[in-house]
Amino acid sequence: MSEQENTSIEVHNLTVSYHRKPVLWDIDFQLPKGKLIGIVGPNGSGKTTMLKTIMGLMKPDSGYVDIFGQPLDKVRERVSYVPQRESVDWDFPADVMDVVLMGRYRKDNIFKRISKEDKKIATEALQRVNMLEFAHRQISQLSGGQQQRVFIARSLAQQADLYLMDEPFVGVDAATEESILRLLSDMRENGKTVIIVHHDLQTAYEYFDHIVLLNTRLVACGPKEKVFTKELLQEAYGGKLTVLSKIGDLIAKEVFPVREPEYKEDKKL
């Protein structure tokens, strides 16, 4: 398979601004198919902006994004997107099964009747995130972690080839995070490509194959072993990460810092 045939996303010469301030600057990278990929970097480094631009939710000042060698509009049905939970209005009147079934609609069949097969796929998706018992619960009545699992189930029900997830583990307990990471690893084994905005370096190193390290500019992109080096993490984080002084020693021991409890992604980016 050629490099182009093995590429899920190509980002070329991408610059994106927010209120006239560059958030991403002249970014170039290619991501392989069939991998679990993390987008990491400090607060305000443009991680969420990168996902929104890939999904066409933000317009770049320059450059382009190709997905499977084509513009998004040509392959939209092969792509599934899970936004940050905080960006969703959770008061809309729908139960859990209704939300998951939304993943079965397509642009050309938005008024179609839901089939038995659709319901079967949605049920299986809820089972995979351990939320089937809540199928008829109103989405607004769930905890934050439960809502996040429902949105992941909706994404699974779409049966896409590429999954983009923006901080999917915020508000999710450690046991649930681990079970979802195992699920995403299984999806990778079935040929799916999963790209996650994440800030926990330990689980990123443990579970992800490939890393995009951002801080407005692209610091590094490649297999995790090549990206998680003292020099590159220093370049990306500077003094912003409170555990940075410990990272060099931890890398030497092949141990990574646990999640920063006070770390919070800037919701504007």
| Predicted confidence (pLDDT) per residue in 18-28, tens digit | 888 899 999 99
Using alpha carbons, list the distances in angstroms from residue 157 to 55, 61, 126, 211, 226. Answer: 18, 34, 9, 26, 34
Looking at residue 188, which CATH number applies to its domain? Answer: 3.40.50.300
Give the span between the Cα atoms of 198 and 214, in whole angstroms.
11
Residue 183 domain-assigned (yes or no): yes
- Is residue 148 one of the residues assigned to a domain? no
Radius of gyration, CA atoms only, the chain:
18
In a domain, 82, yes or no: yes
Q: How far from 142 is each of 49, 92, 98, 212, CA to CA, in Å?
A: 28, 13, 14, 33
Tens digit of each residue's pLDDT (9 = 90 or more) over 114-159 = 889 999 999 999 999 999 999 999 988 998 888 888 989 999 999 9
**pLDDT higher than threshold 50 for residue 268:** no
Q: Can you list the alpha helix ranges (DSSP code H) found in the chain?
A: 47-54, 72-75, 96-101, 116-128, 144-157, 174-189, 201-207, 224-227, 230-237, 244-252
- Strand order of the β-sheet with 21-32 is 21-32, 7-18, 62-67
Segment 46-62 mean pLDDT: 95
- Among 6-15, 229-238, 254-263, top mean pLDDT goes to 6-15
* Number of domains the chain contains: 1
3-state secondary structure of 64: strand
- Contact between residue 128 and residue 156 where contact means Cβ atoms under 8 Å apart: yes
The answer to whether 103 and 155 have CB atoms below 8 angstroms apart is yes
Position 154 in a domain = no
Contacts of 110 (CB under 8 A, 6+ apart): none
pLDDT at 251: 55
As a residue count, the chain comes to 269
> Is the residue at 169 inside a domain?
yes
Residue 243: inside a domain: yes
* Weakest mean pLDDT among 145-149, 179-183, 245-249: 245-249
What does the pLDDT read at residue 19? 84
- Beta-ladder partners of 69: none
* Reported pTM: 0.84
Can you tell me the distance from the alpha carbon of 28 to that of 13, in angstroms, rounded to the nearest whole number? Answer: 5
Residue 146 lies in a domain: no
What is the arithmetic mean of pLDDT over 174-201? Answer: 90
* 236: Cβ contacts below 8 Å, ≥ 6 apart: 40, 41, 42, 45, 213, 214, 215, 219, 220
With 0-12 / 13-18 / 19 or more C-beta atoms within 10 angstroms meaning exposed / middle / buried, residue 130 is middle
pLDDT tens readout for residues 73-107:
999 999 999 988 776 676 778 899 999 998 888 65
The predicted pLDDT at position 66 comes to 97
Residue 228 clears pLDDT 70, i.e. is over it: yes
| Cβ proximity of 151 and 145 under 8 Å | no
Closest CA to 23 of 52, 6, 40, 45: 45
27-49, pLDDT tens digit by residue?
Answer: 999 999 999 999 999 988 999 99
Q: Is residue 193 part of a domain?
A: yes
**Residue-range definition of the domain harbouring residue 75:** 7-87+161-252
